[in-house]
Structure 1
Amino acid sequence: MPQTRMMKLVVTGDDFGYCPRRNQGIVDCFQAGGLSNVSLLVNATAAKEAADLAKRHNIPIGLHANLTEGVPVCESLQTDSTLVNQRGFFQGKMGFRQVLQRGQLSMKQVELELRAQVRLFTDLTGHLPQHMDGHQHVHVLPGVREVFAQVLSDLGISFTRVPVEAGLHSCTWLPPHLHRFYTQVEQDALDSIPVFTRYGIRWPDTYLGLTTMGQNMSVSNLQRALHLALSTGHSTSASGEDSDSAVTAELMVHPGYPSLPQQGGCGEGPDDFSQSSDRQHELSVLSNPAVLDMYRQERVQLCAFKDL
């Protein structure tokens, strides 16, 4: 049954710039009406091409701040810094978290790298990011979130992502290791809300995307996630708007064509997920006319962060 409340939905294609085939898939998805926003990895191998494509096709674009994959943008941090391993690469999704938990991560170096990535984004696109989130959700981690909020506040970047998804705990199809990781991401995100609020950072009322990634994306699964998001309404947002107004939401997606071996990534080549069929599966579902029809039936309007 169609919902009575309207939803303004930002569908964000993450990892823009990862490789030429990811870039092409994201552009194809945008042109098909399947996404409304992109998040750029500025240290990825095809970042300049991605920024040029966003300009050419007028795609709203923000920064996917990356502290876990590839090489730092800030040259002084590429050797002998707490952000990198002995090979000069970032520590990885779990390695970064382990260094942070051991108290060995320099927040000053985190700040230097975040500011360097914003500068490079501005050089590539000609403007500041319209929003800024974290690759592999690093922006909501303890300590990092304070630095992240300070940088956004200083630079006047209004929007970020708060990955708290309704229905995550009752999601039976996620493997245990992913369920554990996503549950920790959610707790970190909840703990970030007071920090982001204090700095005047904004985010949509609700979030979806953890339970609909890769092969878990389907028309019915997206509809389920949207219904849950609509029912929770203003659960995480600090907007305080009237409950009868439109719900705002962000759907995190990763469409693309499978990366070719040795082509793409952020300096170490593409990861397994990028080379798998999962990316193309997301592209196919998001571009499916049935999804676009479902949006219309559910009174979901796709938009960018600047439209919220």
Structure 2
Amino acid sequence: MNTPRTTTLQRLNRLVRYGMVGVAAAAIHYGVLRGLGLILVEWLANPIAFLAASVAGFLGHALLTFREETGGQRFARRWLLLQYAVNLSVCGVLPVLLPAALGQNARDLVLVFTPTVLNALIWSRAARFTARRRTQSQQTPLRHADDLGLAAGVDAAILELARSGHLDGASLLVDGPTAPEAAQAWVGLGRPRSLCLHLCLTEGPDRSAGPNLPASFGQLLLASVLPQRRALIRPQLEHSLRRQVGRYRELTGETRIRLDGHQHIHLVPVVLDTVLNLAEELQIDWIRTTAEPLPTELHWTAWASTVCHGGLLKWLVLQVLSAQAEPKLLAHGIGTNGAFAGVLFTGRMAGSAMTRSLAALASTGRRRGLGPALLLAHPAGEGSAKALAQRGFALSAHFFASPWRQEEWKALRAHAPHE
């Protein structure tokens, strides 16, 4: 129950957030106006600058100011069009309507604050509309685990969670040390569950077999914008994809392929384009995306942790890559999840991070043409990480050795199982 003090603090917090977004939008307006003023007349430069500021407000108010109502999702685009049209009309007509007897200072105040008041009304209404729509379209997010086949401790946790109904799917690392046993055990579970190919390019056998292949997410991302580099690594990417798909079919007996990537490598443009070019040949019909809404009601220490561990930076990069990927997937007739959680708190999906992430996904409206929302975790039991490093999985060995793997296992077990 909210006390008067709590309500006041919440209103003050929202006012501060509204002011932050407003100042940022004003700065963008001024910067674009001054920049365009060098090449365009002011009457043409100003509407363009105002459009840039409107887009900033459209995104900022949805993702920050009214995130409790929107769940970290954007407003419908019609609210941007409405805000832009109303403000341009008012700003054009208002100077004519103001009485000539009104002092200059009073005129300036009216001209400056009238759009501010209008924007507050428009974005507040947009937030209420979005909240109602989200309430009407609640969904049950699916729970998914990566790295099946990496180690016996990982497999034990994932299989136990799947048997008890606490997990809806998993991703198989086909070159992992325990992949054959893990795949056989998964198939033996009986009840239909989602299994994906966990495409791995940054460690494992393909690292030693492909000397031209960049060794990290960042290097692959850089290669995506260098045409000569893209052309050089493309054959190795195709070879790795075909080999891992073949291995997946050999282990599981599956024909149709659902695909995601170790360290989300499949969303890097050069990798995704390679996957899409071979999607029909390899019968790939679903690819994971990572459009992650910002959870609400988290303590500031949770946000501090995600900043310190690089989660926020990863989130920003993968938000952009997912936004680029979704239209490509739809154009190729490939399915994907509508929302995602597991980047901001990657490797630390437990406690309030998991609870609030599930709540954010549940209240995110299911978008047309896209599948259910997906929460990602990396549960595991205890085990030795030394063998992983010797098998070419040094990055995963460090990750697997963290006590957070057991915390994520416990966190998944603590939530009610799905039917």
Q: Is it true that 1:267 corresponds to 2:392 in the alignment?
A: yes
What does residue range 138-217 of structure 1 map to in structure 2 within 5 Å? 138-167=265-294, 172-173=303-304, 174-176=306-308, 177-217=310-350
Q: Is it true that 1:277 corresponds to 2:403 in the alignment?
A: yes
Partners of 2:326 and 2:355 in 1: CA distance: 26
Would the aligned equivalents of 2:257 and 2:282 in 1 still touch at CA under 8 Å? no
Q: CA deviation at 1:223?
A: 3.4
Q: Is it true that 1:118 corresponds to 2:245 in the alignment?
A: yes
Q: Which residue of 2 aligns with 1:20?
A: 152
What does residue range 221-232 of structure 1 map to in structure 2 within 5 Å? 221-232=353-364
Q: Which residue of 2 aligns with 1:239?
A: 369
2:163 to 27, 31, 35: 31
Would the aligned equivalents of 2:202 and 2:216 in 1 still touch at CA under 8 Å? yes
State the Cα RMSD in Å.
2.9
Q: Which residue of 2 aligns with 1:306?
A: none
Stretch moving more, 205-214 or 94-103: 94-103
Partners of 2:365 and 2:281 in 1: CA distance: 30
| Count of aligned residue pairs for this structure pair | 274
Q: Which residue of 2 aligns with 1:298?
A: none
Change (3 A) 1:221 1:71: same
Partners of 1:92 and 1:285 in 2: CA distance: 30
Aligned sequence identity (%): 24
Q: CA deviation at 1:79?
A: 4.1
Q: CA deviation at 1:41?
A: 0.7
Q: Which residue of 1 aligns with 2:18?
A: none
Change (3 A) 1:112 1:283: same
1:286 to 412, 416, 419: 412
Partners of 2:199 and 2:170 in 1: CA distance: 13
Would the aligned equivalents of 1:26 and 1:256 in 2 still touch at CA under 8 Å? yes
Residues 167-189 of structure 1 deviation map (CA, whole Å, 9 limit, x = unaligned)? 07997241243311221111111
Q: Which residue of 2 aligns with 1:70?
A: 204
Q: Computing the radius of gyration over CA atoms, which structure comes out larger, 1 or 2?
A: 2
Would the aligned equivalents of 1:17 and 1:47 in 2 still touch at CA under 8 Å? yes
Q: CA deviation at 1:130?
A: 4.7
Which structure is higher in helix share?
2
Residue identity matched to 1:172: W
Change (3 A) 1:238 1:136: farther
Specify the SS of the correspondent of 2:141.
Answer: strand
Residue identity matched to 2:392: G
Residue identity matched to 1:117: Q
2:178 to 24, 46, 49: 46
With the length of structure 2 as denominator, give the TM-score of the two structures. 0.59
Specify the SS of the correspondent of 2:212.
Answer: coil
Specify the SS of the correspondent of 1:214.
Answer: coil
Q: Which residue of 2 aligns with 1:256?
A: 380
Specify the SS of the correspondent of 1:263.
Answer: helix
Would the aligned equivalents of 2:144 and 2:376 in 1 still touch at CA under 8 Å? yes
Partners of 1:102 and 1:222 in 2: CA distance: 38
Q: CA deviation at 1:5?
A: 3.9
Q: Which residue of 1 aligns with 2:235?
A: 108
Partners of 2:262 and 2:393 in 1: CA distance: 16
Would the aligned equivalents of 2:379 and 2:407 in 1 still touch at CA under 8 Å? yes
Partners of 1:209 and 1:136 in 2: CA distance: 11
Q: Which residue of 2 aligns with 1:83?
A: 213
Partners of 2:375 and 2:257 in 1: CA distance: 16
Residues 84-126 of structure 1 deviation map (CA, whole Å, 9 limit, x = unaligned)? 6xxxxxx134444445455524223212211110000001111
Would the aligned equivalents of 1:48 and 1:124 in 2 still touch at CA under 8 Å? yes
Q: CA deviation at 1:83?
A: 1.5
Partners of 1:119 and 1:11 in 2: CA distance: 26
Say which structure, 1 or 2, has more relative contact order (CA 8 Å, 6+ apart).
Answer: 1
Residue identity matched to 1:267: G
Specify the SS of the correspondent of 2:387.
Answer: coil
With the length of structure 1 as denominator, give the TM-score of the two structures. 0.78
Partners of 2:345 and 2:162 in 1: CA distance: 18
Partners of 1:162 and 1:93 in 2: CA distance: 16
